[in-house]
Amino acid sequence: MATNDSSKRATYAELIGGQRFNVKITGKAPMKKPAELKIVGRSIRHVDIADKVHSKQQYIQNVKVAGMLHGRVVRPPGINARLVSVDGFSQRIPDLVKVVIQKNFVGVVARSEAGAIKAAETIKVTWDDPGGAPRNHDELFAQMTTLPAQSRLLAADGNVDKALAGAAKVLEATYYYPYQLHGSMGPSCAIADVKSDEATVWSPTQGVYPLRAAVARVLGFKDQQVHVIYKEGSGCYGLNGADTASIDAVLMSKAVGAPVRVQWMRGDEHVWEHYGTPMIMKVKGGLDKDGNLIAWDYESLQAARGGRPGNVGAANLPTGALIGLTLQPRRASAPAFPPLGADNSNTEAGYLKDEEGLVPNARVIARTVDSAFFTGPLRSPARIQNSFANESFIDELAHAANADPVEYRLRYVGDHRLAECIRAAAKAAGWELRNSPKPATKGDIATGRGMAAMQYEGEDGYAATVAEVEVNKKTGKVRVTRVVVAHDVGIIINPRGIKAQIEGNVVHGVSRSLKEEVVLDGKTSKSRDWESYQVLRFTELPEVKIALINRPNAAPTGSGENAMTAIPAAVANAIFDATGARIRRLPFTPARVKAALAEL
């Protein structure tokens, strides 16, 4: 707590004399009326901006601890590689303190960061690498369909099989989503100081308590013997290398009996982070003779491994695997009745009953298999994949029904907030009611627009997006020229903050739609840098137009991932509108677009 006089400060603990609050929480505290709010609804400047702009913010990379040494991990050549031997150095490393070996984990500790880098580069290590990972995404997707899958039945409305059998027209489509990176611009970093009976870890983790528990298990300590100090690091909207780097530092600090700082490099971050989950989504829809949607049959299949430390501790992390911690393999399970209802992964489209939709017959099944690579929540985890399929397929149904994509969506939306979002986005974009695709034009450049919309995690905010694109029919290159977003987050706390979030959503979503895909080689990832893992450049940014829907009497919801969730489908629908080519696999690279155009 502070006042305008910076010399007068007090903690809450000091204000109550170090005692407990001992106040019973009833949930009945009176709320201010919207008209009485003085801060909520205003664009208040973030208090940390000035220090970040002027390089005064202390990030984890800037933290120094007395007596601190520097560590680097010597990475195996593949995800399934096993250590055979450590055979010394090709040259003397003056700063070297120790080589740390624990099962398949190899680390080097030196007195300087440069010494640690040199040691990691020159140490001779022999590995046995059997491969066994997918060589490319075609092979990955084929393997996923053969692995034991845990299955969940989410929806079983009406009689899907009977409705499909009696439908005048049945459409089927399969959509594919690849491994993608968090790709934090600053590689992860952590510091650990392990003593005989306690440990302190400075980490940019998103979960200090789960990390504390994981560190305690690795060291054989009780949780109370571990102190995790959060220090801000590279953002990631999910799970980058922060937790894994923390375990790296813990192992090396324990081995040398001194504080150790581990600073990952670009290749560490790109290759050894938790990737976003790859998914396959199969959808079948039935239309009656008037084009009405009478049946929806959806099945998702994702590959996952590990995640945040959670209940299994470091076994969820790559370094945990290196030191021999294992996860139980998944066992196949059938989708059991009764249905579980909508999950928080947007597996159920907004047109189904669990989401207040109006489609009478629907079945939704979600399956999960083991992934060769570690995966974790990447901004809009599973939501962006499922929404890509759901919102692409509703467009395909609209085309089959000879209907405008916006008008067709609104037929099956029962949630008035989602409907208002769709209408607001269409209005802000100047949407012209017509069927897709638009009539073909002469020349190499075709333009189009596409709509996508969803309620995030069922009730955590609503967003509708219109993407406008230019497609070079000769080269296959797609440029997103404008993105219009309508967003309902309940009561708006900080308009400028929400707009900044939406702009970030758009940039990230367009980048993931057009460019991002991990390159596999049967052992590991070949996407080690920004050349081998392409992201959107400043010269490729689209214009962004935002229409905020304020609901002063509604609870606030999220905005960090909502708008982006709809973007891949909106872009795919815009490409179809421009060219008549339907692309069902991300990213929408020139090669994929050209191949789709060649099939017309």
Domain boundary among 208, 243, 272: 272
Asked if residues 465 and 566 have their Cβ atoms less than 8 Å apart, the reply is: yes
Which pLDDT score, from 0 to 100, does residue 17 have? Answer: 83
Q: What mean pLDDT comes out for the span 26-32?
A: 87
Whether 330 maps to a domain, the answer reads: yes
3-state secondary structure 52-117: HHCCCCCCHHHCCCCCCEEEEECCCCCCCCEEEEEEEECCCCCCEEEEEEECCEEEEEECCHHHHH
Dmax over Cα atoms in the chain, in whole Å? 80
Q: What is the mean pLDDT of residues 197-209?
A: 96
- Would you say residue 5 has pLDDT above 80? no
Say yes or no: 488 and 515 in one domain: yes
Q: Is residue 348 part of a domain?
A: yes
Same domain, 113 and 159: no
- Domain with residue 323: its CATH number is 3.30.365.10
Is residue 109, in this structure, part of any structural domain at all?
yes
What is the structure's pLDDT at 6? 65
Give the pLDDT of residue 90: 82
Please state the domain count of the chain.
Answer: 2
Distance between CA atoms of 562 and 212, rounded to whole angstroms? 30
8 A C-beta contact, residue 117 and residue 76:
no
Last residue of a domain, one of 272, 302, 325: 272
Domain presence at residue 93? yes
Q: What is the pLDDT of residue 533?
A: 97
Same domain, yes or no: 343 and 244:
no
- Per-residue pLDDT of 57-79, as tens digits, reads 999 999 999 999 999 999 999 99
Asked whether residue 1 carries a pLDDT value surpassing 60, the answer given is no
- pLDDT band for 430, please (50, 70, 90 cuts): very high
Q: Is residue 563 part of a domain?
A: yes
The whole-chain average pLDDT of the chain stands at 95
Residues 219 and 339 reside in one and the same domain? no
**Whether residue 267 sits in one domain with residue 283:** no
pLDDT of residue 27: 86
- Mean pLDDT of the region 303-325: 94
Mean pLDDT of 125-147: 97
Residues 448 and 505 in one domain: yes
Which band of pLDDT confidence, cut at 50, 70 and 90, is reported for residue 3?
A: low
- Quick one: 461 and 548 in the same domain? yes
Given the DSSP bridges, would you call strands 279-287 and 169-177 parallel, antiparallel or unpaired? antiparallel
- Please say whether the beta carbons of 179 and 376 come within 8 A: no
pLDDT at residue 257 greater than cutoff 70: yes
> Which residue, of 252, 272, 292, is where some domain finishes?
272
pLDDT tier at 172 (50, 70, 90 boundaries)?
Answer: very high
Q: Contact, 524 vs 133, CB < 8 A? A: yes
Per-residue model confidence (pLDDT) at position 412 = 97
Mean pLDDT score, 428-448: 95
22 located within any domain: no
Residue that wins the pLDDT comparison between 21 and 346? 346
307 & 390 share domain = yes
- Per the structure block, which two tokens stand in for 15? 């204000």
User: What pLDDT is attached to residue 236?
Assistant: 83
Residues 563 and 577 in one domain: yes
Distances in Å between the alpha carbon of 300 and those of 175, 371, 454? Answer: 9, 15, 17
558 within domain boundaries? yes
Q: Does position 381 have pLDDT exceeding 60, yes or no?
A: yes
287 and 248 in a common domain: no
Range of the domain at 223: 62-129+191-272
Kindly give, in sequence order, each residue whose CB lies less than 8 Å from that of residue 288, ignoring residues fewer than 6 positions away: 167, 168, 294
Determine whether 153 is exposed, middle or buried from the number of CB atoms within 10 Å of its CB (0-12, 13-18, 19+). middle
How much is the pLDDT for 378?
96
User: From CA 18, how far away is CA 77, in angstroms rounded?
Assistant: 53
Euclidean distance between CA atoms 515 and 590, whole angstroms: 10
Q: In the prediction, which pLDDT does 4 show?
A: 65
Supply φ then ψ for residue 369, to 5 degrees.
-120, 170
- Looking at residue 16, its pLDDT comes to 85
The band of 2, judged by pLDDT with boundaries at 50, 70 and 90, is low
The answer as to whether 8 is a domain residue is no
- Same domain as 216, residue 365: no
Confidence at 148, pLDDT banded by 50, 70, 90: very high
482 & 367 share domain: yes
Instruction: Give, in degrees to the nearest 5, the angle at Cα 145 between 141 and 151.
Output: 120
Q: Which of 412, 410, 484, 487 is nearest to 450 (CA)?
A: 484
pLDDT band at 235 (very low <50, low <70, confident <90, very high): confident
- Cα–Cα distance for residue pair 192/174, rounded to 1 Å: 46
The average pLDDT across 16-35 equals 85
